[in-house]
């Protein structure tokens, strides 16, 4: 049985704050943004709202190279991957058909079925690369 979540003011506040971010952010960063804007929302509530948004497909979530969970508003309804700038957080959604084929092939070759995968590529965007080259 599916759990039906009420659309509370807290959940709407988290969704709105996430929509205003340009890249992936941590729950702590989003919480600080909300608190700086005068919201009395608690950190645990932000975590729950982000988890619910991710489960519903309204937010992307990933683990940073440091192991921290990061979130951003999802721009796409289908399966996709991300290119993420390590410096500024700029994120580009990409379709990677070769990755899809490879993942299914490797799974099948090893006797796995119902396989799924997550691919997030971290690097420097063109703007950050250019800034680093001139620094």
**pLDDT per residue over 90-125, tens digit each?**
888 888 888 888 989 999 999 999 988 888 888 999
116 is in an annotated binding site: no
Same structural domain, 56 and 36: yes
100 is in an annotated binding site: yes
Residue 70 pairs in a beta bridge with 26, 62
Same structural domain, 30 and 43: yes
74 is in an annotated binding site: no
Same structural domain, 59 and 94: no
Could you say which of 74, 92, 125 is where a domain stops?
74
Domain range enclosing 17: 1-74
Give the pLDDT of residue 118.
Answer: 80
Q: Where are the beta strands (DSSP E) in 2-134?
A: 25-26, 59-63, 69-73, 81-85, 91-94, 120-123
Distance of alpha carbon 88 from its chain centroid, rounded? 15
Confidence of residue 71 (pLDDT cuts 50, 70, 90): very high
Confidence of residue 1 (pLDDT cuts 50, 70, 90): very low
| pLDDT reading at 66 higher than 60 | yes
Query: Count of domains in the chain?
Result: 2
Confidence of residue 76 (pLDDT cuts 50, 70, 90): low
Q: In this structure, is the dihedral angle defined by the CA atoms of residues 25, 80, 107 and 85, taken in order, positive or negative?
A: negative
């Amino acid at each position: 049985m599916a759990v039906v979540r009420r659309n509370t003011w807290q959940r709407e506040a988290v969704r709105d704050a996430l929509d205003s971010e340009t890249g992936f952010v941590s729950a702590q960063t989003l919480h600080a943004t909300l608190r700086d804007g005068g919201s009395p929302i608690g950190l645990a509530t932000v975590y729950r709202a982000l988890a619910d948004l991710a489960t519903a497909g309204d937010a992307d979530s990933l683990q940073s190279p440091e192991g921290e969970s990061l979130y951003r508003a999802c721009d796409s309804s289908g399966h996709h991957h991300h290119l993420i700038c390590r410096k500024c957080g700029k994120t580009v959604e990409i379709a990677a058909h070769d990755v899809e084929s490879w993942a299914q092939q490797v799974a099948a070759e090893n006797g796995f079925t119902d396989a799924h995968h997550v691919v997030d590529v971290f690097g420097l965007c063109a703007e950050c690369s250019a800034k680093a080259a001139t620094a």
